[in-house]
Amino acid sequence: MIATLRLVCDSGLLVLIWIVQLIIYPSFAFYSHKNLFTWHKIYTKRIALVVIPLMVTQLIISLLQVYTNPNIYSILYSIMVISAWLLTFIIFVPLHHDISNEIETDLSIKKIKLHNWSRTVLWSLIFILTIYSTFKPW
């Protein structure tokens, strides 16, 4: 049950982060500033409805697995999940705040597209670890 839920969350976040990286963030450059500010406020509320449940569930699973089965896979998984949280709340929440509040918008958009590669790689590695630790042959 937990392994399936973990796979669902990690798969969902993997697909989501690649869509954000390749489609959503680059599309910000095609909006006029006025339209971007209007859309961005709507976008952040809607994307949160998808992201927050997945990230919270992923965090709970990671902590539960470290507590119940502390091994190299569960510890590494938890470190990566916590790192994704830290990146999100230290870097991306403030950048989205700046965009929504029209603060250094062009610079914030450039930063968000560039720095999001860190989360894209991280959630990709989380997914690979989940696949490996779930389906390893031994």
| CA 103/CA 62 separation, integer angstroms | 35
Give the residue numbers spanning the domain of 70: 2-135
Q: What is the pLDDT of residue 33?
A: 86
Question: Structural domain tally of the chain?
Answer: 1
* Segment 66-91, tens digit of pLDDT: 999 999 999 999 999 999 999 999 99
Contacts of 7 (CB under 8 A, 6+ apart): 130, 131, 134
Q: Which tens digits make up the pLDDT trace of 57-68?
A: 999 999 999 999
pLDDT value for 137: 62
| DSSP character at residue 71 | S
Q: In this model, does residue 138 exceed pLDDT 70?
A: no
pLDDT at 44 > cutoff 80: yes
pLDDT value at 6 more than 70: yes
* Residue 115: per-residue pLDDT: 96
User: What is this structure's pTM?
Assistant: 0.91
Neighbours of 10 (CB within 10 A): 25
